[in-house]
Chain A
Amino acid sequence: MNDKIIKEKGASAVSPPLAAILSFIIPGLGQTFSGFIRRGILILLSAGSMTGIMIWRIVDLGYRAGVGWPVFVRAFERRPVFVFIMIFCIAAVWLLSVRDAWICAKERRKPFFGVFLVVLLGFFIQGWQIAEIDPVRFVIEAPEALGPLSRVIWPWKAAITFDERNVAANAQVLDGEGEAPVRAPKIEGRPYLHVEPNVGALTTQDENYKPVPGTKVTLTGTDFEPNTITEIWWIDPVNNKFRPRENKEYLQVTTDSGGAFTMEMTLPYVMVSGDKGTNFIHTIEARQTFKIGGPKASDALKQTLALMVETIFMGMMATMFGIILSIPVSFLAARNIMSGSKVTLAIYYLTRFILNVIRSIEPLIWALIAVVWVGLGPFAGIIALTLHSVAALGKLYSEAIESIDQGPIEAVEATGATRLQVILFGVIPQMISPFISFSIYRWDINVRMSTVIGMVGGGGIGFILMQYIRLLDYRSAGIAVWFIAITVAILDYVSAEIRNRLM
């Protein structure tokens, strides 16, 4: 019986039981032999890839458990639900494919696509596991994110600063054993800080990383400004300054009406305390801060503003270079202009190909290459954005050239106009609207792109945004994010408005 007759008569090459057995041996084989070749291949591919990914995940989950069965046991111990559902899915696909083959061979029609639903379920579960999706964690750890998030959302505290005057006094503490540091002499009328005792042990960690509290000391301050909050600062031997915390609160105290205070503190955990048996002298500082004069723009605000301007201009320069370079390119990539001879057609295909390749590589990757070439800074970003703009605009412009209406050109030619006049009166007026529209759209894209291109060293606001985030300075990062959002929103509106009017 040849293939043609099967199709015409609708009979199967194999009997239903044989098709079922074939599909039992290899899923999809029965369908293939019953004449549903594409369905068979699809079932084979999906069952195969599902099983393959499953094996990979089980080996991944059960690593270090040896070879064979122990790997599976280990994987099942770690992720019982996942392994169970996957085995269920694979078994279901297998059995459903047998049933599927039976129906294909017997009733000469495609059965219900239940088998593919199970395949989809299997891939969904695998995706869930591979992508480490964890809704529980998402909810439980939300409070952790609230602090940084609230600072990013309302960062304006960091936008202003005041000049400050400090009233401060130091006292030294020896970590370990030995001779106590010499106390500074008390000078009448000057603020003074006394630590008792001034020899002790810092907070350390035991082998389970549990804190072992250090010595409790009493701080006594005199001759500070009265009724003022006084911050406690810690200065370690290499002059790092930080504010120690107890019970998650920064240590501080308010002076009484005579400018004096007394408080207790536990010597904190300090990373630099070094090897055991090394005795270092640390310094405790009590500090009162007073604002002088009015509010001033903070460094973060000034830096962000300057870089925002740089970013906008980066986008603008890249767009301009992009426009200039893409105009000639777009003619080379316009089919109606290049279809004259085989040579020009070859140039057309080559240009199109190059444009497609450049466009398919993200500006961020171009920026990485440009940074190697011209070094860090906005110029690298401009090169990256220009390259991408040329490719994108070249394509858009060339499509505008291709869709030009021949009618007006014919009419202008009919008046006896010269070639130049035909271009001026027939071609350019038709091009100008899409041309400006695409260019402004590109400017919009380029400014948006240049906000992130700094993250790979391409200059602009992305660079400092990245730096703020790495320094955990979420307020300053928030200022940068706000500026980016405002700029992009304005630009979006303006470019849409201009394009609307042009249309």
Chain B
Amino acid sequence: MVFQHFNLVKRLSVTNNVLSGRLGYTKNGSSLFYRFSEEDKEKAAAALKRVGLSEQAHKRASELSGGQQQRVGIARALMQEPKIILADEPVASLDPVLAHTILGDLERLNKEDGITVICSLHYLDLVQRYATRVIGLRDGRVVYRGTGEDIRRMTDEEFKEIYGEEAKRVSAGPTITGKPA
């Protein structure tokens, strides 16, 4: 799970935040002293390396920038050795450049490790660039089904059908879910 507001424990170190992804596999007793197995620690170092944050491993999470914090969030999700990563608007609180970095990271996980990424996004340009499969939701119902390619060819009429009459093509609207296979 990757969160919109990162949801890191700000006062813990980056490594500890990543290691907390392993809690499901750790006994109560050892986590009482914030201790993890050597294997988990190596795994955490590897996860941080993948998101390019090895340098920041010992900093407090609160010292990192927004984009870096989100990458810590991704590393934490990786620790669970997931088959599917659920990303809840992972770039909603980031600027466009960082948004591309983060989604690039998720894309790499998808291509290299074969992890399915289910990601909710607002902006169609991001969806066009990264999504393989797209589902549009409005008021809890599916209103659109297609591929990234379909979005690129989408007409303004179709757009208005999904987003409602008042929408222009740049604004935010219902959730578009991109689902790379």
**Which residues of A are in contact with B by a Cβ distance under 8 Å?**
407-408, 410-412, 414-418, 420-421, 424-426, 429-430, 432-433
Contacts and interface: CB of A to CB of B under 8 A. Distances in A.
A433 B11 contact: yes
Contacts of B28: 418, 420-421
Contacts of A425: 9, 12, 16, 20, 23, 31
Nearest to B23: A417
B3 A410 contact: yes
Given A424-B32, A424-B34, A425-B12, A417 B7 contact: no
A408 B23 contact: no
B3 to A, nearest CB: 6
Contacts of B10: 408, 429-430
A417 B3 contact: no
A420 B21 CA distance: 15
Nearest to B34: A424
A416 B1 CA distance: 11
B5 interface: yes
A410 B88 CA distance: 13
A410 B5 CA distance: 11
Given A421-B23, A426-B9, 18 more contacts: A407-B3, A408-B10, A411-B7, A411-B9, A412-B9, A412-B20, A415-B22, A415-B80, A418-B23, A420-B28, A420-B32, A421-B26, A424-B31, A425-B12, A429-B12, A430-B11, A432-B11, A433-B11
Nearest to A414: B1
B76 interface: yes
Interface size range on B against A: 20 to 34
Contact of B24 (A416, A420, A424, A429): A416
B78 to A, nearest CB: 11
B59 to A, nearest CB: 15
Contacts of B87: none
Contacts of A408: 7-10
Nearest to A416: B24
B21 A415 contact: yes
Contact of B7 (A407, A420, A433): A407
Interface in B45-104: 73, 76, 79-80
A411 B1 contact: yes
A416 B22 CA distance: 8
Nearest to A502: B11
Given A421-B31, A424-B31, A425-B31, A430 B9 contact: yes
Most buried by B among A407, A411, A429: A411
